[in-house]
Amino acid sequence: MTQAKKKTILFVCATGIATSTVVAEKTLEYLHENGIDVNYTQTNVASLPEYDANDADLIVATTNVPYETPIPVIRALPIITGIGDQKVLEQIKAAIEE
């Protein structure tokens, strides 16, 4: 396997400081445990149109994403409720490893 470029995750919620902080912490912890290191940014959903595929490889959002974006989106609600969170974390890992 060649040395992969570090991927970037954009964590999105309504305010950019609340649920995205929780989701970022849990996701980074999970990826770290699996030996994956990523860059990350947090933002509010209203700022999302400012980001394009050069800025992030994956969006992980607790809100609806009401825009067309070239960046793949994974919904993070299960990470907040704790119901089905492992499955979502695995999806994030798979998307990052692509």
> What residues make contact with another protein under the rule CB under 8 A?
13-15, 17-19, 21-22, 25-26, 42, 45, 61-64, 75-77, 80-83
**Given the complex with another protein, which of 87 and 97 has the nearer CB atom?**
87
The neighbour count for residue 61, using CB atoms within 10 Å, is 23
Report in angstroms how near the CB of residue 37 gets to another protein at its nearest: 20
| CB of 5 vs another protein, minimal distance in Å | 26
**Residues that are catalytic:** 13
User: Which is nearer to another protein, 67 or 97 (by Cβ)?
Assistant: 67
Tokens of 60: 């992980």
Select 7 or 26, whichever has its Cβ closest to another protein: 26
